Structure 1
Amino acid sequence: MLTAAALATALALSGCAATTQADAGQDSGAGYVAGDGSLATWEPQQRDGAIDLVGQTYDGEQVDLGQWRGEVVVVNFWYAACPPCRAEAGDLRAIHQDYTPRGVQLLGVNPRDDAATAQAFERTFEVPYPSIHDQGAVAVAAFQGLVPLQAMPTTVVLDRQGRVAARIMGQIDPTTLRGLIDDTLAETA
């Protein structure tokens, strides 16, 4: 299970969230609405069915979560003008590098940006994993009840069956996310 230090870090991050939409727009991230920093986990017997999602990346490639069954998947909802999305990009890149050899896939979901804006973000922050261009909110609908559209970033960990094992609303703490991934990898099928 999650260590006490990881839980303490997640709780500390929850104090960084804006309390209102007006508070969130007071800096260079105007229009940004913070996730509240909350962390939720579900034991295997508490999890609902697999998330079904097929989408297209900004490069025109099709991504189907069903093709990653048998692997742990980390799904990160982001957009380019979101300050914590920018802040966590390097941590997600490092997690991708460290965990891909262990059978973990990362997938970004961007419900707001056009291709030029999203691809500029991906180049600037050297994002090595695909992101779905979710202009029709198909991914948001697939995660309905788990990922509020206005809570960016939000990161979800899916187990090997494609079920939601954990969710972080707000900027990730890399130690916490690594712990959640490790816990999910350690589960037996």
Structure 2
Amino acid sequence: MSRRRTLALAAAFAAGALVLAGCTADGDVGEQVANQGYVSGDGSTRQWAVAERGEPVTLTGTDYAGDPVDTSAWRGDVVVVNTWFAACPPCRVEAPDLAAIAADRAADGVHLVGINRTDDAGAAQAFEKKFEIPYPTIDDREGTATAALQGVAPIAATPTTLVLDRQGRVAARVLGLLDRTTLDALIDDVLAEQA
């Protein structure tokens, strides 16, 4: 192999590594998702039995339009929390499913809220417009909403999706790119629990 080709391959590998690191929390290298071309969570799902759930979580902040967001206003309903940022490839893949779930499941008493620790308003609002996101996203560049989840269900990868039960407790978590069928099943499980 020629020196020029070796250098070109090394440069391509280095550039690819930078792109792959783009979807990890705080720049940490996450797990490689097989044949997906990005680094993120592995799509694994965890559910907590009702007796194993901790204290209720309240996420507060301001969305990118400047409106307040407070998940405690939705107590009694199921809340889906999704972390994302505009340049994250799996976030872009799952965005249409999340938008559809927000529309399709609203009548069931399901609310969605995003948390974005990275983007300024311009990048976030462009993403929301492109994917027709109908739910609020907390501008969490200061990390307040994310900090509320530490010790309960830490955000180890982006995207991470949580399902909160009617009391606001974490009932389920998906690390990485979610599958719509899986998320619908997790929501159904929580909806089926007695209020």
Question: Which category describes the TM-score, using the shorter chain as reference length?
Answer: 0.7 to 0.9
Residues 28 and 66 of structure 1: CA distance in aligned 2, closer, same or farther (over 3 Å): same
- Output the amino acid matched with 2:83: F
Moved over 3 A (4+): 22-30
Match of 1:128 among 134, 139, 151: 134
Contact 2:42 2:177 in 1 (8 A): no
What corresponds to 2:145 in structure 1?
139
What corresponds to 1:32 in structure 2?
23
> Could you state the TM-score of these two structures normalised by the residue count of structure 2?
0.81
- Identify the structure with bigger relative contact order (alpha carbons < 8 Å, sequence gap 6+): 1
The separation in 1 between residues aligned to 2:45 and 2:57, in whole angstroms, is 19
Contact 1:41 1:165 in 2 (8 A): yes
What corresponds to 2:97 in structure 1?
91
- Output the amino acid matched with 1:172: L
Contact 1:76 1:107 in 2 (8 A): yes
Q: Tell me, which stretches of 5 or more residues in structure 1 are unaligned?
A: 1-21
Deviation at 1:24, TM superposition (A): 10
**What SS does the aligned partner of 2:55 have?**
coil
What corresponds to 1:148 in structure 2?
155
- Output the amino acid matched with 2:127: F
> Could you state the TM-score of these two structures normalised by the residue count of structure 1?
0.83
Match of 1:45 among 51, 54, 78: 51
- Asked if 1:116 corresponds to 2:133, the answer is no
Contact 2:159 2:176 in 1 (8 A): yes
The separation in 2 between residues aligned to 1:47 and 1:138, in whole angstroms, is 21
Query: Which structure has the larger Rg over C-alpha atoms?
Result: 2
The separation in 2 between residues aligned to 1:64 and 1:40, in whole angstroms, is 25
Deviation at 1:147, TM superposition (A): 3.0
Counting only pairs closer than 5 Å after superposition, residues 163-178 of structure 1 correspond to structure 2 as: 163-178=169-184
Contact 1:29 1:81 in 2 (8 A): no
Percent of residue pairs bearing the same amino acid type: 55
